A and B are shown apart, each in its own frame.
Chain A
């Protein structure tokens, strides 16, 4: 019964955020535009021999995605405060961990939407063969998104009430997700070079561990995040 109620609350929290974004786009347009600009700029720097291009393309792509993704994380909670709904949201009889998971999933969905646009565009602009093996690429993206979204949701919740939050979110978030950035960049580099062996597996494990650890930590500390 309790699990059903929790799942129900989770579903409606996600539904509410997605409906709001569809009706009054606030996050996705800015995020997509920044992503497009970054991909365009970075792809212009990839006028290199194929082998060298393959070594750096993955890192540049994921940097662009995660930079743009900070916008999605930033608006997770600031949109609640701006709407005057922070107090009521924090007082609903739902565990803080459910609120955290809902926001994490919404941020995950935003990152997926971003990747659906940016990855094909990047492949077209840079002529790097990423699309030949979509399965491993999807795995890299899924794990990277969960890890990034987990930390991003916690940091966003903490910084949304600060007076001068300006660029604080990106400043704190990006160093914390360095294992994700390294992991996705290196796993993609090895994928492009056709080396999905032990070393590739090790990076996938790192991404999986990061995603798991910070989802659990985020769920545990979130009651301190929603306090006022």
Chain B
């Protein structure tokens, strides 16, 4: 089964890409044409559907990064580190979009580009933690050392996220409240979250494959240079 899948991988990925792109387009259409207009904020409120979706993906990316990093530390297979890096990079992109969409919403809702609202503040902290981890990773040449150090930081970062969230909520004196939403709005929100999660997963898989391939190429180049095929071939991740 896995051989069949790997042989037809480009076709499977292309088909998945088309399906996911359709899902995202459909949910975007629903956001603009199906979800009712919110009474207080009007059409600007529709930013929330994107904001919540990318915020969830940013958080999921951080969790995935930490879990895959833990798997690398346990198993020492570089492919786990590639999963961790891929999830982290896509998650960081989502965290950036969270800040931008949140800022846009805050400007319309409260007349200011920034507010120390707990979710925005937590997203900013998460963004900075991600950025620090990538900065450290980029300063290490050796793939195994990079994976080990980045992995430990990812695990520590992942454990930190709930505490950051709690601290920022209490800092602003905000207690968890479920916002009242029209049932149609809830369904559109759910569809948006599902489609963006699928897009996040797809981009992570693509990025992971790219990292595996670039590592494979780098090792083959080294192998050709040092004329030492047998030992190094075993290092190429599959």
Contacts and interface: CB of A to CB of B under 8 A. Distances in A.
Interface of A: 151, 154-155, 158-159, 162-165, 168, 171-172, 175-176, 178-179, 182-183, 186, 199, 202-203, 206, 209-210, 213-214, 217, 221, 224-225, 227
B125 A175 contact: yes
Contacts of A209: 163
A183 B129 contact: no
Nearest to B128: A175
A99 to B, nearest CB: 15
Interface in B117-176: 125, 128-129, 132-133, 135-136, 139-140, 148-149, 151-153, 155-157, 159-160, 163-164, 166-168, 170-171
Contacts of B153: 155, 158, 172
B160 A176 contact: yes
Nearest to A216: B159
A175 B133 CA distance: 11
B160 A206 contact: no
Given A158-B153, A182-B170, A224-B151, 11 more contacts: A159-B149, A164-B139, A176-B156, A176-B160, A178-B167, A182-B167, A206-B163, A210-B163, A214-B159, A217-B159, A224-B148
A202 B170 contact: yes
B180 to A, nearest CB: 27
A213 B166 CA distance: 14
Of the listed residues B125, B148, B157, B159, the one surrounded by the most CB atoms of chain A closer than 10 A to its CB is B159
B139 A162 contact: yes
A154 B152 contact: yes
Of the listed residues B136, B152, B159, B163, the one surrounded by the most CB atoms of chain A closer than 10 A to its CB is B163
A186 B148 contact: no
A177 B153 CA distance: 13
Interface of B: 73, 125, 128-129, 132-133, 135-136, 139-140, 148-149, 151-153, 155-157, 159-160, 163-164, 166-168, 170-171
A227 B163 CA distance: 28
A154 B151 CA distance: 12
A179 B160 contact: yes
Contacts of B139: 162-165, 168
B136 A172 contact: yes
Contacts of B155: 217, 221
Contact of A179 (B136, B148, B166): B166
A108 B43 CA distance: 53
Given A158-B149, A158-B152, A162-B139, A213 B159 contact: yes
Contacts of A199: 170
Contact of B170 (A206, A221, A224): A206
Nearest to A199: B170
A151 B155 CA distance: 12
Closest 5 CB pairs of A and B: A172-B132, A179-B167, A175-B128, A179-B163, A182-B167
A213 B140 CA distance: 28
A221 B166 CA distance: 24
Nearest to A151: B156
A209 B149 CA distance: 25
A99 B132 CA distance: 25
B67 to A, nearest CB: 14
B130 to A, nearest CB: 9
A55 to B, nearest CB: 13
13 contacts: A158-B149, A162-B139, A172-B135, A175-B128, A175-B129, A178-B167, A179-B160, A179-B163, A209-B163, A221-B152, A221-B155, A224-B151, A227-B148
A202 B166 CA distance: 10
B13 to A, nearest CB: 33
B136 A162 contact: yes
Contacts of B148: 224, 227
A108 to B, nearest CB: 18
B146 to A, nearest CB: 10
A214 B73 CA distance: 18
Nearest to A202: B170
Contacts of B140: 162
Contacts of B125: 175, 178
A7 to B, nearest CB: 26
Nearest to A210: B163
